[in-house]
């Protein structure tokens, strides 16, 4: 009888030794351990993961991974495996990153042809977020103007968020004001860390409590515009205006068909200005305006460099189009503390 007890005790001990790790493994303990390790030091320590889980679904796992920088200072991503949501983050100096950032904002041409405007991040941040029509994802770009030893350089932080989809098919999309503000805060905290890590020494913005979205890109009747189209006659489609936004958009609608765009205008400030001009094939000697889809352009001297204002003409050049372009460039330059634009 005593011998049987010893055998059972020995067997119980073996089961305990073997079973505990097995239960931990199959119970998700190993995955959670790996997830925790993967989130440590992401993007050189720049990523603040405090609100990422809420952005990507609010429940379940969160896993991080590094991507080969290849021209960036840091490039990494986070995913919610249980809900398929993703967030990618990269940090770079302006030279390799300005073009890529505009590409992510769906600007394969500097004057947007895809009809996806941007909205300002606000709160003192030099940044914009795409206002996509379907809100399936969002691209956020922040540009930090460095000081001290890094003066004349800019640090660009970009985030692309694709909201999580749960097993029932619903999506935590970025039409939600709460989600947009959350993405803005994640971007701002990441920029703060990157500013310290890479010694940029840039002045920073404040806490982001709200961030405009698709619903804030509005159609204004003649004489009623007070955003990026302020001062422009005619019916327009405009975004909120902010003197820190490095990219601004607006559209003038056709008088006989307010659903059609007659003229698209965009303003680009450093570090995106020269990338914008390169993107439409303009050299330093180019003059405007253009006709039948050709770009017209203007420049202004600003505290951080030269700004570029571009117009993509979708109808033959006329006086009202030239006036609209001039009004847009002047008001935008004033908001950003620039000189009067050199207009075509």
pLDDT band at 101 (very low <50, low <70, confident <90, very high): confident
DSSP string, 266-332: EEE-TTSHHHHHHHTT--TT-----STTPEEEEEEEETTEEEEEEEEESS---HHHHHHHHHHHHHH
The answer to whether residue 212 scores a pLDDT higher than 50 is yes
List, in sequence order, every residue forming a beta bridge with 252; answer none if it has no partner. Answer: 236, 263
**Is the preceding omega at residue 271 within 30 degrees of 0, hence cis?**
yes
How are the residues of the chain apportioned to helix, strand and coil, as percentages rounded to the nearest 5?
A: 30, 25, 40
Give the per-residue pLDDT at 26: 44
Give the per-residue pLDDT at 329: 92
The answer to whether residue 105 scores a pLDDT higher than 90 is no
Separation between Cα atoms, residue 325 and residue 340, nearest integer Å: 13
pTM: 0.84
The answer to whether residue 3 scores a pLDDT higher than 80 is no
Give the per-residue pLDDT at 34: 58
Using one digit for the tens of pLDDT, what is the confidence trace for 218-229? 999 988 999 999
Separation between Cα atoms, residue 262 and residue 45, nearest integer Å: 46
Q: What is the DSSP letter of 341?
A: P
Per the model's pLDDT, the better-predicted residue between 246 and 172 turns out to be 246
Average pLDDT value for the chain: 80
The answer to whether residue 152 scores a pLDDT higher than 80 is yes
First to last CA, the chain: 104
Give the per-residue pLDDT at 330: 94
The answer to whether residue 142 scores a pLDDT higher than 90 is yes
Average pLDDT over residues 78-86: 80
Q: What is the DSSP letter of 91?
A: E
pLDDT band at 20 (very low <50, low <70, confident <90, very high): very low
Separation between Cα atoms, residue 170 and residue 164, nearest integer Å: 9
Give the per-residue pLDDT at 108: 58
β-sheet with 218-220: strand ranges across? 218-220, 236-238, 247-254, 257-268, 305-313, 295-302
Per the model's pLDDT, the better-predicted residue between 333 and 344 turns out to be 333
The residues near 247 (Cβ < 8 Å, ≥ 6 apart) are 102, 105, 118, 128, 266, 267, 268, 269, 272
Q: What is the DSSP letter of 340?
A: P
Backbone φ and ψ of 127, nearest 5°: -160, 160
- The region of weakest confidence among 134-138, 153-157, 170-174, 324-328 is 170-174
**Is the preceding omega at residue 160 within 30 degrees of 0, hence cis?**
no
Average pLDDT over residues 89-113: 71
The token pair that represents 119 in the structure block: 């909205």
- The region of weakest confidence among 104-113, 178-187, 220-229, 257-266 is 104-113
- The region of weakest confidence among 64-68, 170-174, 245-249, 257-261 is 170-174
Percent of the chain scoring above 70 in pLDDT: 74
Contact of 204 with 191, CB cutoff 8 Å: yes
Separation between Cα atoms, residue 311 and residue 325, nearest integer Å: 7
Percent of the chain scoring above 90 in pLDDT: 34
Per the model's pLDDT, the better-predicted residue between 20 and 336 turns out to be 336
List, in sequence order, every residue forming a beta bridge with 143; answer none if it has no partner. Answer: 156
**Most confident range, picked from 57-66, 81-90, 189-198, 324-333:** 189-198
The answer to whether residue 55 scores a pLDDT higher than 70 is yes
From 92, 74, 80, select the one nearest 49 (Cα to Cα): 80
Give the per-residue pLDDT at 13: 56
DSSP string, 115-167: ---EEEEETTEEEEEE--SS-S-EEEEEEEE--GGGTT-EEEEEEEEE--B-T
Give the per-residue pLDDT at 234: 87
Give the per-residue pLDDT at 339: 94
């Amino acid at each position: 009888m005593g011998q049987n007890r010893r055998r059972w005790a020995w067997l119980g001990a073996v089961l305990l030794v073997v079973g505990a790790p097995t239960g931990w493994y199959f119970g998700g303990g190993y995955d959670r351990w790996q997830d925790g390790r993967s989130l440590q030091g992401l993007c050189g320590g720049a990523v603040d993961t405090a609100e990422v889980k809420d952005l990507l679904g609010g429940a379940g796992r969160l896993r991080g991974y590094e991507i080969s920088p290849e021209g960036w200072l840091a490039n990494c991503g986070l995913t919610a495996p249980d809900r398929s949501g993703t967030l990618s983050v990269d940090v770079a100096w302006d030279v390799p990153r300005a073009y890529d950032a505009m590409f992510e904002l769906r600007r394969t041409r500097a004057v947007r042809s895809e009809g996806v405007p941007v909205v300002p991040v606000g709160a003192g941040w030099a940044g914009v977020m795409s206002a996509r029509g379907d809100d399936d994802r969002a691209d956020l770009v922040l540009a930090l103007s460095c000081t001290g030893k890094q003066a004349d350089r800019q640090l660009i932080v970009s985030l692309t968020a694709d909201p999580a989809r749960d097993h029932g098919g619903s999506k935590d999309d970025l039409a939600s004001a709460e989600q947009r503000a959350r993405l803005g805060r994640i971007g701002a905290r990441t920029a703060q860390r990157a500013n310290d890590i890479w010694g940029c020494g840039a002045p920073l913005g404040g806490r982001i409590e709200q961030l405009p979205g698709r619903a804030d890109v509005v159609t204004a009747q003649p004489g009623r515009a007070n955003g990026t189209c302020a001062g422009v006659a005619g019916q327009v489609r405009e975004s909120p205006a902010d003197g820190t936004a490095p990219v601004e958009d607006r559209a003038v609608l056709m008088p006989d068909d307010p659903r059609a765009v007659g003229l698209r205008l965009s303003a680009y400030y450093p570090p995106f200005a020269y990338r914008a001009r390169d993107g439409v094939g303009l050299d330093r000697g180019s003059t405007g305006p253009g006709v039948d889809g050709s770009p017209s352009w203007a420049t202004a001297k600003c505290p951080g460099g030269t700004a570029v204002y571009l117009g993509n003409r979708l109808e033959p050049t006329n006086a009202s189009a030239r006036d609209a372009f001039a009004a847009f460039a002047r008001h935008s330059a004033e908001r950003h503390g620039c000189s009067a634009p050199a207009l075509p």
